[in-house]
Amino acid sequence: MTAVPGYIVFCIFLALTAAMDSESILTKSPPPADAKLAYGTDPYQFGEMRLPGGKGRHPVLTFIHGGFWRAKYDLKHAGHLCAALAKSGIATWNLEYRRVGNFGGGWPGTFEDILQGYRFLSQLAARYSLDMNRSLIAGHSAGGQLALCLAAHQRLAVAVISLAGVVDLQQAWDLHLSHDAVAEFLGGSPQRVPKRYEEASPIQLPLGQTPQWLIHGADDDTVPPVMSRHYVEVKRKRGEQANLLQIEHAGHFDLIDPESNAWKQVQETTLQLIQRSGRRHPLSGMPAKP
């Protein structure tokens, strides 16, 4: 048997260690939130608010966690990302919602929660000094699908960010991602419930001139990066402002891990969008009034 050179073994070890490190974010406890607030009566209809230090009106990011829409995964792991953004000067509203396995979860109940939770944020603006003229929406994995759907239905955010998002539900079915998770979420195959695939799939929904940033790791083996690439191609042909940032040597969970090498690019993109939003009105796209 031919021996494998030591440096190759070492490189493989480093790659596997990095992947495991970022995936471990699913089990690590995040820094505590500043407030846990209910936006509905169901136990899963709540959000976590994290605030930057200092006074003044804070830009705010609504974050939607992933987990292939299943009840097994909650908002806990997204607390790391939200805490890191709060340290960088952005208030974060980390949404929980009913998922597949919870009563009322799945389509459309899951999305109805996201919509209700986002609208509730405007009621919190005065209490927490939030600047709704500098409001972003972001989501990871299945949360990327929900974030883009939210931006399509609620034209208030100045930009939307999809991190390794499941942005084409027909393709998710074709690839049988996570053992046909999309069929669990929508209640069947595209042949059985075609209308649901049309109304829930971001690639089918017009987002107008809302800036869209799709960030994807080149080494993602959970949601293939080709999905985001194809999405951007389709949306640009339709005249939408879709942009792609593919991060080399990054996997699925690196994008939400503040300790990963990919995090700097995710954070910088978010901060740049916040800075641009301060110069534009979120509804019309016109320069904000002084």
Helices 79-87 and 263-277, interaxial angle, to 10°? Answer: 60
Q: Residue 141: which region, alpha, beta or left (left: phi > 0; alpha: psi -120 to 50)?
A: left
Reported as a single tens digit per residue, the pLDDT across 212-253 is 999 999 999 999 999 999 999 999 999 999 999 999 999 999
Answer whether residue 136 shows pLDDT above 90: yes
Task: Give the pLDDT of residue 286.
Answer: 30
Q: Specify the CATH number of the domain 46-277.
A: 3.40.50.1820
Q: What is the mean pLDDT of residues 36-45?
A: 98
Task: Give the pLDDT of residue 13.
Answer: 34
Top-confidence residue, 5 or 114? 114
5 pLDDT tier (thresholds 50, 70, 90): low
Q: What is the mean pLDDT of residues 190-202?
A: 98
Answer whether residue 16 shows pLDDT above 60: no
Task: Give the pLDDT of residue 243.
Answer: 98
Instruction: Report the DSSP pairing between strands 58-64 and 130-140.
Output: parallel
- Structure tokens of 239? 């005249």
DSSP string covering the chain:
-PPPPHHHHHHHHHHHHHHHHHHGGGTSPPPPPSEEEESSSSTT-EEEEE--SSSSPEEEEEEE--STTBTT--SGGGHHHHHHHHHTT-EEEEE----BTBTT-STTHHHHHHHHHHHHHHHHHHHHTEEEEEEEEEEETHHHHHHHHHHHH-TT-SEEEEES----HHHHHHTTTTTTHHHHHHTS-TTT-HHHHHHH-GGGS--TT--EEEEEETT-SSS-THHHHHHHHHHHHTT--EEEEEETT--TTGGG-TTSTTHHHHHHHHHHHHHHHTTS-TTT-SPPP-
Question: Residue 116 in contact with residue 45, Cβ under 8 Å?
Answer: yes
Task: Give the pLDDT of residue 27.
Answer: 85
Length of the chain in terms of residues written: 290
Answer whether residue 285 shows pLDDT above 60: no
Answer whether residue 19 shows pLDDT above 70: no
Question: Residue 110 in contact with residue 132, Cβ under 8 Å?
Answer: no
156 pLDDT tier (thresholds 50, 70, 90): low
Task: Check: pTM over 0.75? Answer yes or no.
Answer: yes
Reported as a single tens digit per residue, the pLDDT across 61-107 is 999 999 999 999 999 999 999 999 999 999 999 999 999 999 999 99
